[in-house]
Amino acid sequence: MGRELNGPGSHIDLQTPSLDGAEEAFRPAWWLPGPHFQTLWPALFRRRGKPVLKRERLELPDGDFLDLDWNGAGSSDNPFVLLLHGLEGSSASPYSWGLLAAFERRGWSAAVMHFRGCSGEPNRLARSYHSGETGDLAHVMEVIGRRFPNRVLFAAGVSLGGNVLLKWLGEGGSDAPLAGAAAVSVPFDLGQCADRLEKGFSKVYRRYFIKLLHQSVRSKFGTWRESPINLEKLSAWRTFREFDEHVTSRLHGFDGAEDYYRRSSCGPFVARIRIPTLIVQATNDPFLPGTTVLPRAPSSSVRLEAVPYGGHAGFVAGAVPGRPRYWLDDRIPGFFEEALALRKGCPPPSC
């Protein structure tokens, strides 16, 4: 049985005993104190180690498309990892290419699945993507499974991508075709997260993302003869609740923002996950309302690592100022290696 989260800063291990103690605990860089330095440093200053990527376009059954960006590594004998980015992210997001490079160093194939409209070109249909849309992920995994029938498959998601991944895993249960999964900085309750982004300095992040969403909507529908969104009113929808009420729900068949949040939040699905899954959360995440949305009763297949520092998708370590170490680039591949070792019947550290 899993243990309850006792409060901010708790480190909770809800995985099988054979994986206990294998991870290196996250220790934040002392020169990046607080949630905002941890969140902003990778986004603003991470530059080195970006891999060369190859793009593949997948045509979808409904006539739309999405793009995959692949690293250059891997053989037919090595695992494959699918990465899911966050809101308005892409393979150019620092966490994306950091993980792509980390897997490439291990000789593993990895690809970023761009959600519809996030690869630099508007998608064809009126609908795009949202936090609870798992159909495209299911389709991509089916394509990958047919392409690599003998390879071990993993997936990792960050922020919105983590919500999509965990919801899909919960929907699939034991039928999920993965050997393991990882999710970082997950908005388990979308409504509470929308409210959190209306408080304090977090409003800066909200303004940034709403601006990106407005730009995407105008870029896409500005050339349509009849736009499904009233572009004249778009600038008035400045909060996530307003945007999701008038845009997200309208484009994707929800009965308003509350209905979208209720049906798309991954929190209720975590208990149904049946494959080894790592969830990494920082209780000082400026996008999330701390421990109030951490799942209290995940399945026995889930390891929740809740640490007091790390910001949103940051988790920057390193003792020397200006020489960061991006802990997720080690932690996520390390967890997958543990899961792979257990799959082979050789639990660490004996392998």
The number of angstroms, rounded, from the C-alpha of 307 to the middle of its chain's C-alpha atoms is 17
Q: Is 10 tagged catalytic? A: no
User: For residue 277, what are the β-bridge partners?
Assistant: 181, 302
Q: b or e along 194-214 (b: 16 or more beta carbons within 10 Å of the residue's beta carbon)?
A: bebbeeeebeebbeebbeebb
Residues 350, 342: Cα–Cα separation, whole Å: 11
Residue type, 67: D
Q: Contact at 8 Å (CB) between 228 and 250?
A: yes
Q: DSSP assignment of 107-167, as one string? A: T-EEEEEPPTT-SSS--SSS----TT--HHHHHHHHHHHHH-TTS-EEEEEETHHHHHHHH
Catalytic residue among 265, 285, 301, 329: 285
Catalytic residue among 36, 85, 252, 312: 312
CA nearest to 162, candidates 267, 92, 254: 267
Q: How far is CA 263 from CA 184, 243, 267, 269, in A?
A: 20, 17, 10, 10
The number of angstroms, rounded, from the C-alpha of 262 to the middle of its chain's C-alpha atoms is 19
Please report which residue ranges of the chain form alpha helices under DSSP H.
Answer: 34-45, 94-105, 135-147, 160-172, 190-196, 202-221, 240-243, 249-252, 257-264, 328-343
Q: Is 312 tagged catalytic? A: yes
Q: Contact at 8 Å (CB) between 25 and 9?
A: no
Q: Is 185 tagged catalytic? A: no
For the record, the structure tokens of 82 come out as 């699918």
User: For residue 80, what are the β-bridge partners?
Assistant: 109, 153
For the record, the structure tokens of 351 come out as 């392998």
Catalytic residue among 93, 131, 159, 299: 159
Q: Contact at 8 Å (CB) between 277 and 286?
A: no
Q: Contact at 8 Å (CB) between 136 and 127?
A: no
**Where in the sequence numbering do the catalytic residues fall?**
159, 285, 312
